[in-house]
Amino acid sequence: MASVTLTALRKDYAGNAVIHGIDCAIEDGEFIVIVGPSGCGKSTLLRMIAGLEAVSSGELRIGERVVNKVEPKDRDIAMVFQNYALYPHMSVYDNMAYGLRIRGLAETEIRSRVDKAVAILQLQALLDRKPRQMSGGQRQRVAMGRAIVRDPQVFLFDEPLSNLDAKLRVQMRVEIKQLQQRLGTTSIYVTHDQVEAMTLADRLIVLNGGVAEQIGAPIELYERPATLFVAGFIGSPAMNFLEATGTGEAAVTLAGGVRLATAGIVPAGAAVTLGIRPEHVLTAPDAAVPLTVELVELLGADSIVHGRLPGGAALLVRLPGVSTLAPGALLPVALPATAQHLFDPASGSRMTIESTRQI
């Protein structure tokens, strides 16, 4: 096991930067998830750590060793791919043993390592099967087993659950987390699924256009997003964003004249983007703001209400249980100051309001 340190790590293609100077110190045994939309550079960053993409500038360390110029086979990492990458003509046992044979390990050592991985992943009944005889979840277990037998310093996962159905993704997500906790191996995992990211990670790296918008624990990013992008990407349903104007007091005004109290003084006339999560919008008969219901999504345990505020701004509200609200109904809502997030619409950065209190 080892730490992984990225220092001003950058990747350029023909003079165009796709990874913009990322800094992150990944601790020994930590589970880091790189998350972001398609095309943000997350797989490129993972491939740079693996040695499959050259580093344009900056420094990459695995443990105490700088590995910028080190070949992938010499980095002591193991990678699990999205498409499993199993040898179709080999049995499960031979798929897991092949890499060890190439390295010249004795057959007794190979058998010991494979047996250990098979026991961890419960693959005993599948050892003689070929990949075509297995389900997607079973193939993914074999791919993870092939990585485990390497006993690497670092595991790299490149969207390993993308090809599985929703139920199996949940099951495999739990198994990967339990596996990492059992082995204690430093792990770096790429996904575009923010639910996967939130449930797996010790810390998240949120990428946007090759830039690390924020690095931190999942709950930290949920409760205190540093930018509009992070606020909108983390959380399901996504955070509501409302355009507002400061009043010079502890309040802002929305389009349509709705006035909302804030946690501190907002300069008069200042443009503000106010964010609030659907689950933090309160409803009560005496709430001051009327929401006109347009659509209700019934999810069973929750209902998602889509509505419009006076002035036309859209707002989502998450309600517990099954809602009987019909389109056209008025739902009184409150947007408590303690649950609000204020952002500068020009820079997208979280605002520090005049009272000096961070919100």
CA distance 205 to 188: 10
SS3 168: helix
Asked if residue 165 and residue 258 are part of one domain, the reply reads: no
Number of structural domains found in the chain: 2
Query: Which CATH number is 135's domain given?
Result: 3.40.50.300
CA distance 78 to 157: 9
Residue 7's DSSP bridge partners are 59
pLDDT the model gives residue 162: 84
Asked if residue 313 and residue 200 are part of one domain, the reply reads: no
Q: Give the tokens for residue 26.
A: 């990944």
pTM of the model: 0.90
CA distance 295 to 285: 20
Query: Is beta strand 31-35 parallel, antiparallel or unpaired with respect to 186-191?
Result: parallel
For residue 354, being part of any structural domain is answered with no
Asked if residue 210 and residue 109 are part of one domain, the reply reads: yes
C-alpha dihedral, 254 to 255 to 258 to 264, nearest 10°:
10
For residue 188, being part of any structural domain is answered with yes
Q: Could you give the maximum distance between any two Cα atoms of the chain, in Å?
A: 77
pLDDT the model gives residue 250: 92
For residue 357, being part of any structural domain is answered with no
For residue 157, being part of any structural domain is answered with yes
Asked if residue 212 and residue 124 are part of one domain, the reply reads: yes
Asked if residue 188 and residue 171 are part of one domain, the reply reads: yes
Asked if residue 312 and residue 226 are part of one domain, the reply reads: no
Q: Which of 27, 293, 271 is nearest to 153 (CA)?
A: 27
Q: Which of 89, 97, 77 is nearest to 145 (CA)?
A: 97
For residue 349, being part of any structural domain is answered with no
pLDDT tens digits in sequence order for the chain, 359 residues long: 799 999 999 999 988 999 999 999 999 999 999 999 999 999 999 999 999 999 999 999 999 999 999 999 899 999 998 888 899 999 999 999 998 999 899 999 999 999 999 998 889 999 999 999 998 889 988 998 999 998 899 999 999 888 888 888 888 898 889 889 989 999 999 999 988 999 999 999 999 999 999 999 999 999 999 999 999 999 989 999 999 999 999 999 998 889 999 988 999 999 999 999 999 999 998 888 999 999 999 999 999 999 999 999 999 999 999 999 999 999 999 999 999 999 999 999 999 775 434 44
Q: Note whether 144 and 177 are within 8 A (CB).
A: no
SS3 253: strand
Q: Which helix (H) or strand (E) holds 221?
A: helix 218-223
Asked if residue 24 and residue 113 are part of one domain, the reply reads: yes
CA distance 34 to 46: 8
Q: Which of 358, 274, 337 is nearest to 309 (CA)?
A: 274
CA distance 122 to 132: 18
User: 195: Cβ–Cβ under 8 A, 6 or more apart, which residues?
Assistant: 236
